[in-house]
């Protein structure tokens, strides 16, 4: 038995001419509001108020940002403006202030002597197969050679 899988479920149905139901509602709402302005206010105020209303209704009906309807852009913008924000400040180091790190030069005179406690710590760490820094091993070899 075969079943038909619905396709094109993202595409809205065209109900009123070439317009979907949402597009018709946005345009009808904008047109109705402009008609209300025309009946209440003088002509010059009507034009000043109706131009942004019709621009918004046209944008809601037809304009898409990154393939998504304009209503989502308005929703996210409103959420960002009204929502709480957390600002973190991290001080940046300037390139001119950075100094290249130099490795300290060790001489035989600056190598510390290996004490008994240090020798026990080193032996214990080797017994448990712990990683010991190579610099510690190098200094211990130099001190035994003395």
Please write the tens of the pLDDT for every residue from 27-54: 999 999 999 999 999 999 999 999 999 9
Residue 36's pLDDT is 96
> For residues 135 and 131, what is the distance between their CA atoms, to the nearest angstrom?
12
Q: For residues 106-131, give the mean pLDDT.
A: 64
> For residues 2 and 47, what is the distance between their CA atoms, to the nearest angstrom?
59
Residue 88's pLDDT is 86
pLDDT band at 108; cut points 50, 70, 90? low
Q: State the burial class of residue 89 (Cβ atoms within 10 Å of its Cβ: 0-12, 13-18, 19+).
A: exposed
Residue 62's pLDDT is 94
Domain boundaries, the chain: 14-82, 116-145
> Per-residue pLDDT for 130 more than 70?
no
The DSSP element (H or E) to which 49 belongs, if any, is helix 43-62
Cα-only R_g, the chain? 38
Report how far Cα 30 is from the mean position of its chain's Cα atoms. 35
- Please state, rounded to an integer, the average pLDDT across all residues of the chain: 80
Strand partners, 53: none
HEC secondary structure over 65-125 = ECCEEHHHHHHHHHHHHHCCCCCCCCCCCCCCCCCCCCCCCCCCCCCCCCCHHHHHHHHHH
pLDDT band at 9; cut points 50, 70, 90? confident
Residue 27's pLDDT is 96
Sequence-distant (6+) residues with CB within 8 A of 68 are none
């Amino acid at each position: 038995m075969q079943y038909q899988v619905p396709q094109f479920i993202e595409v809205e149905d065209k109900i009123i001419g070439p317009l979907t139901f949402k597009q018709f509602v946005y345009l009808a709402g904008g047109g109705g509001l402009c008609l209300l302005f025309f009946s209440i206010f003088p002509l010059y105020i009507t034009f000043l108020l109706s131009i942004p209303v019709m621009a918004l209704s046209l944008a809601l009906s037809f304009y898409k940002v990154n393939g998504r309807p304009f209503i989502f852009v308005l929703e996210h913008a409103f959420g960002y403006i009204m929502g709480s924000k957390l600002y973190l400040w991290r001080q940046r180091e300037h390139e001119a202030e950075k100094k290249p790190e130099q490795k300290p030069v060790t001489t035989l005179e600056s190598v510390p002597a290996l004490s008994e406690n240090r020798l026990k710590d080193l032996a214990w760490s080797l017994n448990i197969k712990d990683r010991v820094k190579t610099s510690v091993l190098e200094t211990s070899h130099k001190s035994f050679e003395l």
